[in-house]
A and B are shown apart, each in its own frame.
Chain A
Amino acid sequence: MSVVIVDTECANLTSVRFAVERLGYSVLITDDVEKIRSADRVILPGVGTAAAAMRNLQRKQLVEPLRELTQPVLGICLGMQLLTSHSEEGDVDCLNLIPAQTKRLPQCGLPLPHMGWNTLQPTADNPLVDDQDSYCYFVHSFAVAVDEYTIASSEYGERFASMIRHNNYFGAQFHPERSGKTGEALLKRFLELELC
């Protein structure tokens, strides 16, 4: 099993690597197109801004290769938002792998960013999480609206998509690498997933 973390030059690559290693897998952080293409699993992490992350991917000529992957791919936090078609954060076109839009969370009198542990309500066909209302760790100010690609939702002022999926591409708005045993279980299932 080869697991690759795409080197987006964002800050939280290390914690994702350690989380995969705690599950007993070795993992490579790389921006090498061939290594990404040939990996069994690809993780696209990200913190920071969508515009900066897309700039990094373009500079590294990773946009098209990332769009053509066939193995299971997991975008985490900003990495999930990069899978959508467009982000309001910096008004930037993203990878357009999941036809959804990333928009700023509304001002509802609640503190922003949405930061801390919130519950997930997965859909029945979510292959990575079964349990209703398990807690995961979120830190974000932008979110994806609930639509047919949503496989889990959460609520903060309004309901938003906390996990999305289209074919082999999965996204998690929260940080599984920092979400305790729930996050560990999710990563483990992603790594063991068999796509049919």
Chain B
Amino acid sequence: MLAKRVIPCLDVRDGQVVKGVKFRNHEIIGDILPLAKRYAESGADELVFYDITASADGRTVDKSWVERVAREINIPFTVAGGIRSIEHAQTMLSMGADKISINSPALLNPDLINTLVEEFGQQCIVIGIDSFYNDQSGEYEVHQFTGDESKSRKSAWQTKDWLQEVISRGAGEIVLNCMNQDGVRKGYDIEQLSALRGFCSVPLIASGGAGDIQHFVDTFKIAQVDGALAASVFHKNLFSISDVKTAMAANKIAVRPIEALQETT
């Protein structure tokens, strides 16, 4: 049975892992490689590295660490941030990234999605969507350039429409980052995720809001997502991936057991 995925997200800035609250006030968490290895060994099903400054600064992610990560870890990982051309994508994939995630550049140039899918295959093209609930209009709005508060702005898209657009263009997976929830640890946006699940025929990953173990259980149980992304709860050791998986298993959610705790063959 396909396991639900627990995915630590490492926000990368200038070669280090950082974490901000609601996309702001970034603090340094640590070096990339030791954190990546620690998560891989402690039961992460996948890792996402997100260069939060890249799109906003008009530069691509620093390259060298991608290959170092690929050399060391034996689980899949995704690189996100500023990938806006075939060449950028090729560089990341050839250094060993399993998937690349595109966000703002896809909004600027939706044809980029088709081009990347044709070139590299659907399986490695993830679309990240930063979705903001506007309580004035009651609409979910797609935002772009969210890595930099001064450049972050609303796009013309409503989230449901953009979701369907990117899937029709061949996206292989969606990471839905619910901005209102991000970094405040009050739980995933179950309402939004549940509403969009029915429109998402590809794997859907919840992002933004993980604060306690029950939040993971709820997003899998209620919103039926395929994976859940989390950063600060793991970086700050509020609880472990093992704690999350134990709770998921107790709630009859399929999980991949943590290998370090098993006898290996």
Residue interface mask A155-196, B partner, CB < 8 A = 1: 110000000000000000001011111111100000000000
Indicate whether A116 sits within 8 Å of B94 (C-beta atoms), given known contacts A111-B204, A181-B259: no
**Minimum Cβ distance to chain A for residue B176 (Å):** 13
Q: Are B121 and A14 in contact (CB under 8 A)?
A: no
Partner of A22, one of B74, B94, B119, B204: B74
Interface 9-mer from A34-42, A58-66, A135-143: A135-143
Residue interface mask B1-33, A partner, CB < 8 A = 1: 111110000000000000000000000000000
Instruction: Give every chain A residue within 8 A of B259 (Cβ-Cβ).
Output: 180-182
Instruction: Give every chain A residue within 8 A of B203 (Cβ-Cβ).
Output: 111, 113, 115-116
B interface bracket (residues with beta carbon within 8 Å of A): 35 or more
Q: Are A141 and B122 in contact (CB under 8 A)?
A: yes
**Minimum Cβ distance to chain A for residue B173 (Å):** 6
Please measure, in the bound complex, the distance between the C-alpha atom of A119 and the C-alpha atom of B71, giving whole angstroms.
Answer: 25
**Minimum Cβ distance to chain B for residue A134 (Å):** 8
Interface centre among B76, B90, B94, B124 (most CB of A within 10 A): B76
Closest to A179 in B: B74
**Minimum Cβ distance to chain B for residue A45 (Å):** 12
Please measure, in the bound complex, the distance between the C-alpha atom of A47 and the C-alpha atom of B94, giving whole angstroms.
Answer: 12
Instruction: Give every chain A residue within 8 A of B2 (Cβ-Cβ).
Output: 110, 114, 116-118, 156
Indicate whether A116 sits within 8 Å of B120 (C-beta atoms), given known contacts A18-B96, A111-B201, A180-B259: no
Partner of B70, one of A18, A48, A118, A134: A18
Q: Are B202 and A112 in contact (CB under 8 A)?
A: yes
Closest to B96 in A: A14
Partner of B74, one of A113, A131, A180: A180
**Minimum Cβ distance to chain B for residue A179 (Å):** 7
Q: Are B257 and A15 in contact (CB under 8 A)?
A: no
**Minimum Cβ distance to chain A for residue B260 (Å):** 9
Q: Are A117 and B256 in contact (CB under 8 A)?
A: yes
Tell me if B45 is interfacial: C-beta within 8 Å of chain A.
yes
Tell me if B98 is interfacial: C-beta within 8 Å of chain A.
yes
User: Interface SS of chain B: helix, strand, loop or mixed?
Assistant: loop
Q: Are A49 and B257 in contact (CB under 8 A)?
A: no
Q: Are B95 and A14 in contact (CB under 8 A)?
A: yes
Instruction: Give every chain B residue within 8 A of A139 (Cβ-Cβ).
Output: 76, 98, 123-124, 172
**Minimum Cβ distance to chain B for residue A58 (Å):** 19
Instruction: Give every chain A residue within 8 A of B124 (Cβ-Cβ).
Output: 11, 47, 139
Please measure, in the bound complex, the distance between the C-alpha atom of A184 and the C-alpha atom of B73, giving whole angstroms.
Answer: 11
Closest to A47 in B: B121
Instruction: Give every chain B residue within 8 A of A49 (Cβ-Cβ).
Output: 121
Q: Are B98 and A116 in contact (CB under 8 A)?
A: no
Please measure, in the bound complex, the distance between the C-alpha atom of A135 and the C-alpha atom of B265, giving whole angstroms.
Answer: 13
Q: Are A141 and B98 in contact (CB under 8 A)?
A: no
**Minimum Cβ distance to chain A for residue B254 (Å):** 9
Tell me if A130 is interfacial: C-beta within 8 Å of chain B.
yes
Q: Are A183 and B74 in contact (CB under 8 A)?
A: yes
Instruction: Give every chain B residue within 8 A of A140 (Cβ-Cβ).
Output: 123
Please measure, in the bound complex, the distance between the C-alpha atom of A49 and the C-alpha atom of B122, giving whole angstroms.
Answer: 9
**Minimum Cβ distance to chain B for residue A162 (Å):** 12
**Minimum Cβ distance to chain A for residue B42 (Å):** 12
Q: Are A116 and B172 in contact (CB under 8 A)?
A: no
The 3 closest A-B pairs by CB, nearest first: A11-B93, A48-B121, A14-B96
A-B contact pairs, 15 of them (CB 8 A): A11-B90, A11-B94, A11-B121, A12-B96, A13-B94, A14-B94, A15-B96, A113-B203, A115-B172, A116-B2, A139-B98, A141-B122, A181-B74, A181-B264, A183-B74
Question: 8 new A-B pairs (CB below 8 Å) besides A19-B74, A47-B124?
Answer: A11-B121, A15-B98, A21-B71, A48-B120, A111-B201, A179-B74, A181-B74, A183-B74
